[in-house]
Structure 1
């Protein structure tokens, strides 16, 4: 069977049956285009007529060398291999192939990085930066408060519709990875910021009917790139040591909850993590902080 139609059917399977997030699908597509380029440009295959059985263990080994020669990061190489491994598991499951050319091919080991986060005082400084004397500042304040107050991903934030928030009860309905739905409570500061945005800023930009919660000055849904720019801007203005991405607000949300005694399972639920192991990295951050406080304050440390 031809490789390209099999990859297309696999991507459709991920979208329709596995309900994978759009960003994950895009990442898989990018990884596959890289592999196709390698097959065409390095091995001189005609990609449209290439049979799946022509790809063997040697092909994959050469691809690994090709990736390493380009000085790509270990995480990028690991992700490219993960895309291939997932595809071949699918082919084995469907009984399209009998042998997996990725058997005994190891991914590079990636050292676990502790997530970047802000101390509570630093976060407060960032949250105070947007000016409430302009519509843009009012909107940006609501974005920052919601990112930190609910711990949601940037993709989840820009996907929010007006119908997904209930300020009277204080919660937001979020659709996370794999279209998994969860309801997250939001605090009084986020509620106050959102109420101000919905009253003073959003109506002025809402030129046409738009269901999105956060919109730009032209009335369209705000992009995740715009949110990244907003977060970066106010972190710089506050002069904090770490210039965070929106995901850093999520890290700060989880870390501060655990610092104040929240149960790990509750934090897992709030973050929408499928596995507890994804949440456990924040316990390492809290322990690191505990050790630091101990060594700074204990007389015999």
Structure 2
């Protein structure tokens, strides 16, 4: 069976499974590089001819081009999933990626926000206008729910109520809790949004909208977080949705609610518990945790938001 034909079939399968356009583009990009290497450097056109030695050579080739270990690990996941599918569909008997040696990823300890910094970022926005209230609600939701960028931007009005229905990676759904503290902020945001769009056209059913009534872009969300960090004078910490997920993870595991790492992994939408563990490595080293928190990250902080 031709390698290129199976790659195309696999991509259509992924599309049918509901993978995002960005994910499909990443997969297609990687398969293009892999197949070019196998065809041009190893003389392989059929899937049956691919061996672990060919794939090991490809990994080494990527290392020589300067690709970092973390990126190679991500690349290997895409390749492994493809060959696993080939085995499931009986195009192959074994996955040739099974015994390919990958470079180890250096362990990095994530540095995150302190409680003080998060509170300052939330307080840096007011309720004086729709956009100010929207930005306050976005920062509060990121801190209290730990959503990814794509997840918070993709929220629809029907998704937000007493809980939040989150559409995560790979179209996997999960629920996030709306704490009383966050609920109060969201109620005021929704009131101002209703007033603002009373005589304006709304072009999207997204929960968070631009001033033109459209869904927010990736850059627009980052600009909100960047502005929050600037107003709150946050230094030496990257202001991003990922850093808020780290804050949520470390605060939740030490909230006094006996939340275990397996439950936290599900709340974060992680497919592997190792990812969650990496979020928690900084707890002892950075000593940023407040063990007196007894519920959500924003609740019981003894400060009016």
**TM-score of the pair, normalised by structure 1:** 0.81
What per-residue deviation string (whole Å, max 9, x for no partner) do you get for residues 50-108 of structure 1? 43345444543432232122211111112222222221122122221245443532111
Matched ranges for 1:161-180 at <5 A: 161-166=156-161, 170-180=162-172
The match for 1:191 is: 183
Retained in 2: the 8 A contact 1:151–1:253?
yes
Retained in 1: the 8 A contact 2:153–2:216?
yes
Question: How much has 1:248 moved relative to structure 2?
Answer: 1.0
SS in 2 for 1:174: strand
SS in 1 for 2:265: helix
Retained in 2: the 8 A contact 1:151–1:254?
yes
The match for 1:28 is: 27
Structure 1 CA distance, aligned partners of 2:24 and 2:155?
20
**TM-score of the pair, normalised by structure 2:** 0.80
Retained in 2: the 8 A contact 1:28–1:83?
yes
Retained in 2: the 8 A contact 1:117–1:244?
no
The match for 1:217 is: 211
What per-residue deviation string (whole Å, max 9, x for no partner) do you get for residues 152-180 of structure 1? 222111111101111xxx32122223333
The structure where helix makes up a greater share of residues is 1
**Pairwise CA RMSD of aligned residues?**
3.0
1:154 aligns with 2:154: no
Structure 1 CA distance, aligned partners of 2:274 and 2:41?
40
Instruction: Provide structure 1 residue ranges, at least 5 long, that are not aligned to the other structure.
Output: 294-301
Instruction: Provide structure 2 residue ranges, at least 5 long, that are not aligned to the other structure.
Output: 291-305
Structure 2 CA distance, aligned partners of 1:23 and 1:114?
28
Question: How much has 1:44 moved relative to structure 2?
Answer: 9.5
Structure 2 CA distance, aligned partners of 1:147 and 1:74?
29
The match for 1:287 is: 284
1:230 aligns with 2:224: yes
Matched ranges for 1:15-54 at <5 A: 15-17=15-17, 20=19, 23-38=22-37, 43=41, 50-54=45-49
Retained in 2: the 8 A contact 1:14–1:25?
yes
The match for 1:83 is: 78
Retained in 2: the 8 A contact 1:139–1:197?
yes
What per-residue deviation string (whole Å, max 9, x for no partner) do you get for residues 254-275 of structure 1? 2112233232244334323455
* 235-244 or 200-209, larger mean C-alpha shift: 200-209
Matched ranges for 1:83-162 at <5 A: 83-98=78-93, 100-162=95-157
The match for 2:256 is: 261
